[in-house]
Amino acid sequence: MTPRSTSRLGAALIGAIATLALSAGLALAHPESEGEHGGCIVTAEPGTIPQGGEFTVEGNFGGASIFVMPGRNATPEEDQAPDATTPPGSSFSVTFTATGSAGDLTVLAFIDATECGDTDHVTVTAGTLPNTAANDQTDELAAIVGLALLGAAIVAARTRSLARRA
């Protein structure tokens, strides 16, 4: 291979790895990776809070009924009133305080009589917050980016070495 073709191949590989890293981050972020929700997406952040801590529920649709229920896959009772409702619009953001005991909370938001809705989960801990500064997703993405940079350095060194020989 000539230095020019090696450089092109290296650039293509680095571009492919960078694209993979970016698309993996978007896919793992939340929406479509969790199944069907009719284009309506709800997130509850932070995902882990202490008892009495606050979390924010956000959605990309308005006119929502929001339920916050104890349990991992809880569903509202037939006549249960929502914990909050939002005005019509293109999005919403509502802050809640975890008043119950430690465990999982299911957050459900939907527009009545439509297929627009989604769920997310919050974990309430009995003590202080765990150290979530470096989660697995961030570690995986950092490893991919690190490998891409290492690949770039190897390609650059190889290209310089071949150019000197020529």
Instruction: List pLDDT tens digits, range 98-143.
Output: 988 899 999 999 999 898 999 999 999 986 555 555 555 566 777 7
| 8 A C-beta contact, residue 62 and residue 74 | no
Task: Give the pLDDT band of residue 85 (cuts 50, 70, 90).
Answer: very high
Ranges of each domain in the chain: 3-28+135-165, 34-125
The per-residue pLDDT for 68 is 96
| 8 A C-beta contact, residue 124 and residue 51 | yes
The per-residue pLDDT for 25 is 53
The per-residue pLDDT for 30 is 45
| 8 A C-beta contact, residue 131 and residue 46 | no
User: Could you tell me the fold of the domain covering 34-125?
Assistant: Immunoglobulin-like (2.60.40)
Structure tokens given for 152? 């770039």
pLDDT tens profile 25-62: 544 444 444 445 458 999 999 999 999 999 999 999 99
Q: Is the pLDDT of residue 95 over 80?
A: yes
H or E segment and range at residue 104? strand 103-110
Residue with the bigger pLDDT between 130 and 146: it is: 146
Structure tokens given for 163? 């150019």
